[in-house]
């Protein structure tokens, strides 16, 4: 005769084991997301695997079924998520951005991954009843002006802009320029220090990436490329008193530890302005500094990007 007690105990163990795995996987995933910082993985196959596991764990925690089309705004919007899991939704949006930006560069699925991150960002914003009500009544920009969830705003915007890059004019005609600007300015009002002053980098890239002159205004409905604004925003995150004379100036010495601040200064201001010697100097400074322990993923990535850009800059020296 089968030992019913043993059989029952076995069934209980089988039922508990997946729950225990999910809890452990979620704990490991959440540990990779320090407050107001990058995902804490290395630029390596092991780091990529860690991030993939984190994405799986976050999706399991939210109960996301495999058949859900995460690139579809309507499907993600209709998917039920408990309000206490809003932070998990934000982390999934950040995870998708990071995975696409770092590990899917130049791969076909990069754009769809940014789109997934954008849809989860929208999901998080609309989980706020006040945001949803303002959006329905007064529109998206008005809703943003009342939002206080910085990670939801930041990762929605980041994913949205990166998804829009290969389809820029269509995105601009849909009103992205005004909506993205509203998000970035709202984040600056709430917490400009997020991700080592990431909102200033976003605004610098925004004003450099717009079409120039009257042609740009046709597509954006107002904003156009503006290098004075690019200089102002990048000067807030780099220690360059000569080039930045008369601008707002460096807001915090800690900005130097995050290589993307200097990379953006070179990429979005010095290089377009053909300041080749200064660009080479700034890019070389990124390569000369140790990656450090605070930002292992993005400092390593930005050293690679700096090396690539430096090689191109040196052709002009």
Distances (CA, A) of 146 to 91, 133, 139: 21, 11, 12
Checking 46-49 for CB contacts under 8 A at 24+ apart, the result is: 47/297, 48/99, 48/103
Q: How would you write the pLDDT of the chain (317 residues) with one tens digit per residue?
A: 446 555 555 555 554 555 555 788 999 999 999 999 999 999 999 999 999 999 999 999 999 999 999 999 999 999 999 999 999 999 999 999 999 999 999 999 999 999 999 999 999 999 999 999 999 999 999 999 999 999 999 999 999 999 998 887 777 777 888 999 999 999 999 999 999 999 999 999 999 998 887 666 665 566 789 999 999 999 999 999 999 998 889 999 999 999 999 999 999 999 999 999 999 999 999 999 999 999 999 999 999 999 999 999 999 99
pLDDT at 2: 47
Q: Are 76 and 63 in contact, with CB atoms under 8 Å apart?
A: no
Closest CA to 100 of 121, 115, 90, 88: 115
pLDDT at 185: 97
Checking 263-267 for CB contacts under 8 A at 24+ apart, the result is: 263/302, 263/305, 263/306, 263/309, 264/201, 264/204, 264/205, 264/234, 264/237, 265/204, 265/234, 265/235, 265/237, 265/238, 265/240, 266/306, 266/309, 266/313, 267/309
92's CB contacts (< 8 A; 6+ apart) are 55, 58, 59, 62, 117, 120
**What global pTM score does this model have?**
0.91
Closest CA to 255 of 310, 200, 191: 200
Alpha helices in 31-109 (DSSP H): 45-62, 73-78, 86-98
């Amino acid at each position: 005769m089968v030992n019913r007690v043993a059989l029952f105990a076995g069934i209980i163990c089988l039922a508990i084991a997946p729950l225990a795995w999910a809890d452990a996987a979620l704990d490991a995933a959440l540990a990779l997301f320090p407050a107001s910082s990058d995902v804490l993985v290395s630029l390596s196959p092991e780091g990529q695997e860690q991030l993939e596991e984190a994405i799986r764990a976050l999706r399991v925690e939210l109960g996301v079924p495999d058949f859900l089309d995460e690139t579809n705004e309507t499907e993600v919007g209709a998917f039920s998520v408990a309000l206490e899991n809003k932070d998990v939704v934000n982390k999934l949006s950040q995870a998708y951005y990071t995975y696409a930006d770092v590990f899917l560069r130049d791969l076909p699925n990069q754009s769809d991954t940014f789109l997934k991150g954008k849809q989860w960002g929208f999901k998080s914003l609309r989980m706020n009843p006040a945001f949803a009500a303002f959006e329905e009544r007064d529109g998206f920009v008005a809703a943003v002006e009342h939002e206080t969830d910085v990670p939801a705003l930041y990762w929605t915007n980041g994913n949205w802009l990166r998804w829009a890059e290969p389809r820029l004019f269509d995105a601009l005609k849909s009103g992205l320029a005004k909506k993205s600007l509203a998000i970035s300015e709202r984040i600056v009002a709430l917490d400009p220090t997020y991700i080592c002053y990431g909102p200033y980098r976003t605004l610098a890239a925004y004003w450099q990436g717009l079409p120039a002159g009257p042609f740009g205004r046709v597509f954006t409905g107002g904003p156009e490329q503006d290098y004075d604004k690019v200089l102002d925003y990048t000067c807030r995150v780099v220690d360059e008193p000569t080039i930045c004379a008369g601008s707002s100036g460096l807001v915090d010495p800690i900005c130097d530890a995050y290589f993307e601040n200097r990379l953006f200064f070179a990429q979005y201001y010095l290089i377009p302005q053909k300041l080749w010697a200064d660009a080479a100097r700034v890019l070389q400074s990124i390569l000369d500094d140790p990656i450090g322990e605070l930002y292992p993923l993005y400092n390593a990535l930005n050293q690679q990007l700096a090396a690539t850009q430096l090689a191109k800059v040196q052709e002009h020296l």
